[in-house]
Chains A and B, each alone.
Chain A
Amino acid sequence: MNTNSKKTGLFRSCLLATVAMVLGACATTAPPPELRDPADPWEPYNRNMYAFNRAIDKAVLIPVATGYEAVVPDPVEQGVTNFLNNIQSVPTILNLLLQGRPGDAGRAFERLFVNTIFGIGGIFDIATDGNIPYYEEDFGQTLAIWGWEDSRYFILPFLGPSTIRDSVGRPFETAGPIPLGQYGSFFWHDLTQERPALIGVDLIQRRANLLPFENQIEDAFDEYLFVRDAWLQRRNFQITGESDTPDYDSFLEEDY
């Protein structure tokens, strides 16, 4: 009873903060449609959703992640990160196969096998020490390989930056290997029972890993643009595996 009322109190203050932020964000104006980045035609919506997510981030996620970081010793954090990355290998292998990269899928399987067996369920990343490469492929990347290359920027409520393509891909992979457990796969079975806890730890650990970037985000002239541009460029890099060389000549010449 008592914890319940505490929860509602926290929820209410989050909601208040959020509403205040969203209302505040409405005041900031996105450029008119003809001046917008072609990758981001829905900028006004995205800006509001960014402000909404960021308010929750600041009110809840950052404090929790900072506390977690302070309390949990570094080796344990490393173990948790390794464990989560290892689970992520399962959808990565499937997507490598879907992308027609059986060789890479084989190496990713080798990584999963080595870390699960010798790394005690993935807590230790033996594979990296053994120079087995690390892959991270999700269904959004597979869709891009299949030909859906350009997709507009789209911020999802609570989940953050994405594109239409990656949002479509999401239901196929966010749950990751966890649904596989329901089909009786040996190792994942126990995880199914712990799913909410696992997702919570995953979220907090991922946020904690991003804390070092907080300074850069805070320093940015326009947080929204900074996060958008960085996210889109990085996403493109994940898909092609090569950094795009920007068209520098056009930077000097273009008139828009």
Chain B
Amino acid sequence: MKRAIQMIFLIVFNGLICGSLYAQNPQEIVRMTTQELFAAVDEDRQNLERNPAQLKQLTYNILLPKIDVTYSGRLVLGRNGRSLEPEQIERFSDRMSDMLIDRYADALLEFQTRDQIEILPMAPDGTDRMTKVRTRVRLNNGARTPVDYVFRNTEQGWKIFDVIVEGISYVTTFRNQIGEEVRAHGFEGMMQRLDDNMLVVDVTED
């Protein structure tokens, strides 16, 4: 009797652990997030096509909790971030993730069906600290574009901090851009330019 109770306890306990691990698995995060996004877009497609701002807000709400914004920002700033106040790093990271999510939202409407995204088996180079989820996105012209999401294990579970499209890493590419600009005009000068760029983008969209 005692053994049976122990057994049941063990099974339930195991189930709990596996269940929670399953939910936090990076592949599962990518699968669930894309499903959530596509469902939200499909539900309201006509309205969203006419309202880019609303689409951006929707994408932002779904994606932001999955991204380690600050870590991403620190990687891009690199050495240039050392002498900065935490507030400045936050400000930069927020701006950067805004840009990334904006681009993502623009691309989102291009996809008509959700089976256009295929999630590949995990890359062998993953560790319990960092891992990469590889996906293939089938474009409407039949080409399959590789999109990889790089995850890091944080206290709040696995979070995305870089996106690699056709081998082009968002973090690496921005890092050199930002580095040059900070070297030439200082941190605040770089932020100013980032803000100006955003304004230009907003004007062309109206």
Residues on A lying within 8 angstroms of B by beta carbon are: 31, 37, 78, 81, 125, 128-129, 134, 216, 219-222, 225-226, 229-230, 233-238, 243-246, 248, 251-252, 254-256
Contacts and interface: CB of A to CB of B under 8 A. Distances in A.
A129 B138 CA distance: 12
B75 interface: yes
B78 A251 contact: yes
Given A219-B197, A226-B177, A243-B169, 15 more contacts: A216-B103, A220-B177, A221-B181, A221-B190, A221-B197, A225-B176, A225-B177, A229-B172, A229-B173, A243-B132, A243-B166, A243-B167, A245-B132, A245-B150, A252-B75
Contact of B142 (A128, A243, A256): A128
B141 A243 contact: no
Contacts of B200: 219
Nearest to B131: A245
A243 B181 contact: no
B180 interface: yes
Interface string B189-202: 01001000100110
B201 A226 contact: no
B163 to A, nearest CB: 10
A243 B172 contact: no
Nearest to A128: B142
A233 B167 contact: yes
B79 A256 contact: yes
Most B C-beta atoms less than 10 A away, residue of A234, A244, A246: A246
Contacts, number: 89
In the A-B complex, the 4 residue pairs with the closest CB atoms: A237-B167, A128-B142, A221-B177, A243-B164
A219 B201 contact: yes
Nearest to B99: A219
Contact of A255 (B79, B162, B172, B178): B79
A251 B179 CA distance: 11
Interface of B: 74-75, 78-79, 103, 123, 125, 130, 132, 134, 141-144, 146, 148, 150, 161-162, 164, 166-169, 171-173, 175-178, 180-181, 183, 190, 193, 197, 200-201
Given A219-B197, A226-B177, A237 B166 contact: yes
B85 to A, nearest CB: 17
Nearest to B72: A248
A251 B175 contact: yes
12 contacts: A128-B142, A219-B197, A221-B190, A222-B181, A234-B166, A237-B167, A243-B134, A243-B146, A243-B164, A244-B169, A248-B161, A248-B171
Most B C-beta atoms less than 10 A away, residue of A222, A238, A251, A254: A251
Nearest to A209: B141
B180 A244 contact: no
B180 A78 contact: no
B180 A221 contact: yes
